[in-house]
């Protein structure tokens, strides 16, 4: 886990973990679809997720400003 800034949590610092499971990775790919540059390929290992109280933020490990919010689980 890493300790980084989370824009969804009021720009405060929180622990982030790697994306887990195929379902979470697929949801991340969809959520980030519009943010990826033309020709850029989604690589799950380049992203991590905030672990704070139900936060659904995912963001790049090397650029915290590049990210999205996962949709609510059904």
Cα gap 21→73, rounded to integer Å:
14
Three-state DSSP class for 69?
strand
Q: What is the pLDDT of residue 67?
A: 95
- 5-55 pLDDT, tens per residue? 999 999 999 999 999 999 999 999 999 988 888 998 999 999 999 999 999
Three-state DSSP class for 52?
coil
Domains of the chain, by residue range, sit at: 2-69
Strands (E) in the chain, as ranges, are 2-6, 12-18, 47-50, 57-60, 67-69
Is 0.85 surpassed by the pTM of this model?
yes
Q: What is the pLDDT of residue 47?
A: 97
Residue 74 has pLDDT above 70, yes or no: no
């Amino acid at each position: 886990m890493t300790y980084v800034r989370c824009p969804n949590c009021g720009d405060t610092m929180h622990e982030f973990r790697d994306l887990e499971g195929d379902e979470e990775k697929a949801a991340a790919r969809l959520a980030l679809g519009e943010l990826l540059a033309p020709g850029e390929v989604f690589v799950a290992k380049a992203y991590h997720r905030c672990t704070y109280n139900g936060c659904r933020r995912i963001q790049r490990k090397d650029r915290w400003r590049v990210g999205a919010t996962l949709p609510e689980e059904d």
